[in-house]
């Protein structure tokens, strides 16, 4: 870890000497807390990762990206799903076991615990690159903009007039690079990959810049959340336990625990039975994904119909590791949301519930982001001042013709903020002079990325939600708020295309992965800046692999033979853009009331949590309450929360700690078993998927 990252840890201590360090407080600066005192903690030993371990990690990144891309396109089973990526966990477990053998037979080849955690941090940080929020959208949608501008489409000539020719493989829908993707390649024809060379060279700086912007955002806030607010980072507990220690590199404690294997079996059994049923229908199907169906035939209570009753054992294990108020809020708020819909129906408002709830979520995100900035205001002020000093040093450094390289030493946060400014400016330049997009709308789009990215990072760092997604997309909020007449058709088309990396939704937004990886880097002594640098290298490697894998798979299979989702992805996107180009949807008082109520509710929850120790509801529950993930995960969260509540009530904290191996077993067993069947289905397809994401 870099010395500037760990030299001094400032804590706020109450007059009675007790630590104040729960979420939504900032025990950071003495001038912000009258009763504060400084506590200095010695910096841990700086750890290093050998080049051989780095090379091994990057090879794994390339292999994982290729396999994950093939799986997502052909079967739509995304191996990188979840902020604790489902297929990274079993891969890491395998590496740990092999490494334990190397420790015994060839110690020089074995990885240290720091290197093991480095492998996990880097792999998990790129897990979603080849899935949602980039690769699954980018290539198909670039093709779709041209193919669905053809005369046989209802959107004839609607998209291509707004595209620069170097942004797509071709502007002619009859070109093999476009036509063969949808209608198949002729016998013996060569893959038209050469026509992708120019657009990929043009798009890659922008795409890498979006990931860099997200990473710098996480770097700016990582020390505040890790050291000052002491967030839980529950998803880091699993790799920490699996990695063992340098003295005992194999996690013998877990493997010798009957509770671990009990949890492993409890998680693996339903997935195994479900998969075996797909191959052998005579085996009963446990149906881990059920639906309550119609509970109430009419009236306001119909809002509670069709409850998703899904069992995700890995989420049960994660929920056990959460704080009690977070666990309670995650499963309770989806019911509060349905209660609100029921109340609206009782008052005679039977339409537009989704839009009303969506604008509540938009407002909640803005209030949440504002509160995070306010809580960290002292920390951010120091960071800003340090950045100005760094900028002055940079000017002096070059003015003196780089006489002394040590002249540029500065806190990591200052470097991250300076990097944010530089990358933000670079993205604006790309949008203006390459894509030819209006700068005002681009600024709004990128600020939307920063707001949503910050909130997602906070939710994952504090709540450890396996995966969640709000009902809005940043660019759609802009389109809804300002309309086609103000934004213009060209900007609508291009802003949508620019949103296929990280801006489409937060279901697998990179900031959630990055904050966990930075935390692991801190815990294993690498330092955030070192970890961040290798994350960015790994993202670039994954992106290059995607540039080869995805077009190859698309042309080899053709869109009609891809997975159920990939078959309609580009068509759905074309329809979405076409609707914004042809339909005006002005905001009404209905939308604004939703916005006002959402902002007030989120503010009140934050205020109550700050004002009353032990307040049982967490604002994260409101942030995540509307969207398909929590609708599916609520039951699993309830089971994990209830298990923890029972253990704490009748066994106390010591029993809760002793029962953690059961939770780890649920997480490892669920992800390992599911990954095994996903890989098997790639070789031996079945008529249905194991689970639907």
DSSP collapsed to 3 states, 252-265 = HHHHCCHHHHHHHH
| Average pLDDT of span 109-116 | 91
Question: Which has more pLDDT, 3 or 118?
Answer: 118
pLDDT digits (tens, 9 = 90+) for 396-427: 766 665 555 455 677 889 999 999 999 999 99
Q: How far apart are CA 364 and CA 361, in angstroms?
A: 5
pLDDT digits (tens, 9 = 90+) for 249-261: 566 678 889 999 9
Q: What is the pLDDT of residue 642?
A: 97
Judge contact between 296 and 302, C-beta under 8 A.
yes
> Of 9-13, 379-383, 547-551, which one has max mean pLDDT?
547-551
Length of the chain measured in residues:
693
Strand partners, 308: 291
| Residue among 137, 103, 21, 59 at smallest CA distance from 565 | 137
Using 50, 70 and 90 to split pLDDT, how confident is the model at 43?
very low
In degrees and rounded to multiples of 5, residue 199 shows phi and psi of -60, -35
Q: How far apart are the first and last CA of the chain?
A: 37
CA 447 to centroid of chain Cα atoms? 17
Number of CB atoms found within 10 A of residue 181's CB: 26
* Secondary structure, 3-state, 81-148: CCCCCCCHHHHHHHHHHHHHHHHHHCHHHCCCHHHHHHHHHHHHHCCCCCCCCCHHHHHHHHHHHHHC
Q: How far apart are CA 352 and CA 376, in angstroms?
A: 37
Structure tokens at 543: 């992106």
Using 50, 70 and 90 to split pLDDT, how confident is the model at 514?
very high
Q: How far apart are CA 408 and CA 415, in angstroms?
A: 10
pLDDT digits (tens, 9 = 90+) for 478-511: 999 998 899 999 999 999 999 987 666 556 788 9
Q: Is the pLDDT of residue 149 over 80?
A: yes
| Residue among 93, 65, 504, 89 at smallest CA distance from 314 | 89
For 64, the enclosing helix (H) or strand (E) is helix 51-74
* Secondary structure, 3-state, 505-552: CCCCCHHHHHHHHHHHHHHCCCCHHHHHHHHHHHHHHHHHHHHHHHHH
Q: Is the pLDDT of residue 18 over 70?
A: no
Alpha-carbon Rg for the chain in angstroms: 25
Using 50, 70 and 90 to split pLDDT, how confident is the model at 35?
very low
Question: Which has more pLDDT, 484 or 8?
Answer: 484
Strand partners, 13: 19
Q: Specify the 3-state DSSP secondary structure of 187.
A: coil
Q: Specify the 3-state DSSP secondary structure of 557.
A: helix
Strand partners, 290: 309
Q: How far apart are CA 314 and CA 311, in angstroms?
A: 9
Q: What is the pLDDT of residue 390?
A: 86
Structure tokens at 161: 């007039």
Q: What is the pLDDT of residue 29?
A: 35
DSSP 472-490: --HHHHHHHHHHHHHH-HH
Q: How far apart are CA 135 and CA 81, in angstroms?
A: 13
Strand partners, 291: 308
pLDDT digits (tens, 9 = 90+) for 184-219: 999 889 999 999 999 999 999 999 999 999 999 999
Judge contact between 223 and 413, C-beta under 8 A.
yes
Q: How far apart are CA 293 and CA 308, in angstroms?
A: 9
Strand partners, 310: 289
Structure tokens at 323: 């704080």
Q: Is the pLDDT of residue 113 over 80?
A: yes
Judge contact between 54 and 404, C-beta under 8 A.
no
User: Which residues, in sequence order, are CB contacts of 682 under 8 Å at separation 6+?
Assistant: 70, 71, 74, 75
| Average pLDDT of span 161-187 | 95
Q: What is the pLDDT of residue 373?
A: 95
Look at the block and give the residue holding tokens 């509801």: 617
Lowest mean pLDDT across 45-49, 126-130, 588-592? 45-49
Return the exposure string of 639-658: e unless at least 16 CB atoms fall within 10 Å of the residue's CB, then b: bbbbbbeebeeeeeeeebee
Residue 488 Rama label (left phi>0; alpha psi -120 to 50; beta): left
Structure tokens at 538: 């790994």
Structure tokens at 291: 């639906």
Q: How far apart are CA 684 and CA 277, in angstroms?
A: 14
pLDDT digits (tens, 9 = 90+) for 585-643: 788 888 899 999 999 999 999 999 888 888 999 999 999 888 888 888 999 999 999 99
Q: Is the pLDDT of residue 685 over 70?
A: yes
pLDDT digits (tens, 9 = 90+) for 301-324: 999 999 999 999 999 999 999 989
- CA distance to 355, 441, 484, 493, 582, per residue, from 585 (Å): 12, 18, 9, 17, 10
Q: In the chain, what percentage of residues exceed pLDDT 90?
A: 64
Structure tokens at 206: 């922008």
Using 50, 70 and 90 to split pLDDT, how confident is the model at 247?
low
pLDDT digits (tens, 9 = 90+) for 646-678: 999 999 999 999 999 999 999 999 999 989 988
| Average pLDDT of span 505-525 | 85
Structure tokens at 179: 């036509």
Q: Is the pLDDT of residue 58 over 80?
A: yes
Judge contact between 539 and 532, C-beta under 8 A.
no
Q: What is the pLDDT of residue 200?
A: 97
Judge contact between 646 and 34, C-beta under 8 A.
no
Q: How far apart are CA 294 and CA 285, in angstroms?
A: 22
pLDDT digits (tens, 9 = 90+) for 525-569: 888 999 999 999 999 999 999 999 999 999 999 999 998 889 999
Q: How far apart are CA 56 and CA 94, in angstroms?
A: 14
Q: How far apart are CA 671 and CA 317, in angstroms?
A: 11
Judge contact between 566 and 559, C-beta under 8 A.
yes
In degrees and rounded to multiples of 5, residue 361 shows phi and psi of -65, -40
Using 50, 70 and 90 to split pLDDT, how confident is the model at 236?
very high
| Residue among 679, 623, 674 at smallest CA distance from 268 | 674
Question: Which has more pLDDT, 33 or 300?
Answer: 300
Return the exposure string of 64-89: e unless at least 16 CB atoms fall within 10 Å of the residue's CB, then b: bbbbbbbbbbbbbbbbbbbbbbbbbb
């Amino acid at each position: 870890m870099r010395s500037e990252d760990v030299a001094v840890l400032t804590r706020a201590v109450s007059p009675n000497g007790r630590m104040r360090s729960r979420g939504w407080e900032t025990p950071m600066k003495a001038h912000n807390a009258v009763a504060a005192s400084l506590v200095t903690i010695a910096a841990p030993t700086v750890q290093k990762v050998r080049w051989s371990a780095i090379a091994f990690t990057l090879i794994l990144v390339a292999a994982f990206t290729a396999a994950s891309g093939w799986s997502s396109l052909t079967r739509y089973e995304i191996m990188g799903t979840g902020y604790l990526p489902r297929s990274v966990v079993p891969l890491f477990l395998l590496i740990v076991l092999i490494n334990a053998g190397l420790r015994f037979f060839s110690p020089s080849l074995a990885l240290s615990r720091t290197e093991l955690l480095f492998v996990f941090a880097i792999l998990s940080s790129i897990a979603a690159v080849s899935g949602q929020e980039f690769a699954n959208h980018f290539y198909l949608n670039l093709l779709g903009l041209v193919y669905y501008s053809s005369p046989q489409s209802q959107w004839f000539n609607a998209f291509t007039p707004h595209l620069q020719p170097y942004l797509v493989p071709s502007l002619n829908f009859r070109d093999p690079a476009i036509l063969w993707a949808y209608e198949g390649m002729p016998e013996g024809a060569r893959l038209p990959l050469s026509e992708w060379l120019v657009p990929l060279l043009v798009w890659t700086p922008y795409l890498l810049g979006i990931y860099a912007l997200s990473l710098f955002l996480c770097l700016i806030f990582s020390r505040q959340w890790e050291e000052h607010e002491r967030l839980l980072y529950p998803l880091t507990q699993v790799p920490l336990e699996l990695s063992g220690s340098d003295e005992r590199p194999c996690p013998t404690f877990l493997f010798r625990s009957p509770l671990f294997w009990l949890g492993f079996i409890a998680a693996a059994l339903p997935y195994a039975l479900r998969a075996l049923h797909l191959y052998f229908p005579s085996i009963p199907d446990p149906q881990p994904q059920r639906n309550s169906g119609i509970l109430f035939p009419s009236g306001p209570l119909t809002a509670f119909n069709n409850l998703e009753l899904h069992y995700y054992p890995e989420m049960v294990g994660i929920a056990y590791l959460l704080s009690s108020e977070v666990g309670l809020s995650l499963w309770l708020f989806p019911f509060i949301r349905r209660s609100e819909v029921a109340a609206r129906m009782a008052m005679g408002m039977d339409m537009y519930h989704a839009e009303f709830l969506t604008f509540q979520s938009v407002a909640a995100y803005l209030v949440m982001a504002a509160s995070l900035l306010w809580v960290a205001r002292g920390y951010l002020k120091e960071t800003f001042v340090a950045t100005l000093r760094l900028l002055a040093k940079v000017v002096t450094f070059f003015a003196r013709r780089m006489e002394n390289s040590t002249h540029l030493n500065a806190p990591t946060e200052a470097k991250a903020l300076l990097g944010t400014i530089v990358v933000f400016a670079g993205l604006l330049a790309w949008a203006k002079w390459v894509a030819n997009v209006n700068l005002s709308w681009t600024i709004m789009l990128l600020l939307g990325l920063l707001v949503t990215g910050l909130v997602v990072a906070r939710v994952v760092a504090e709540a450890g939600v396996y995966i969640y997604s709000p009902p809005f997309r940043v660019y759609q909020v802009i389109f809804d708020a300002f309309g086609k007449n103000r934004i213009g058709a060209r900007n609508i088309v291009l802003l949508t295309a620019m949103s296929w990396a990280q801006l489409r939704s937060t279901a697998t937004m990179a900031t959630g992965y990055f904050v966990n990886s930075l935390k692991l880097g801190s815990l294993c002594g690498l330092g955030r800046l070192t970890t961040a640098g290798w994350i960015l290298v790994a993202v670039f490697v994954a992106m290059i692999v995607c540039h080869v894998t995805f077009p190859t798979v698309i042309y080899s299979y053709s869109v009609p033979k891809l997975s159920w989702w990939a078959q309609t992805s580009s068509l759905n996107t074309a329809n979405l853009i076409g609707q914004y180009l042809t339909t005006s949807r002005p905001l009404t008082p209905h939308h604004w009331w939703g916005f006002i109520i959402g902002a007030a509710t989120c503010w009140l929850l934050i205020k109550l949590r700050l004002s009353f120790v032990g307040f049982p509801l967490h604002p994260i529950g409101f942030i995540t309450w509307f969207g398909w993930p929590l609708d599916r995960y609520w039951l699993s969260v309830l089971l994990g929360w209830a298990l923890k509540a029972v253990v704490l009530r009748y066994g106390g904290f010591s029993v809760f700690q002793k029962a953690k191996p059961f939770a780890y077993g649920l997480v490892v067993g669920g992800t390992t078993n599911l990954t095994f069947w996903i890989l098997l289905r790639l070789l031996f397809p079945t008529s249905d998927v194991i689970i639907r994401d």
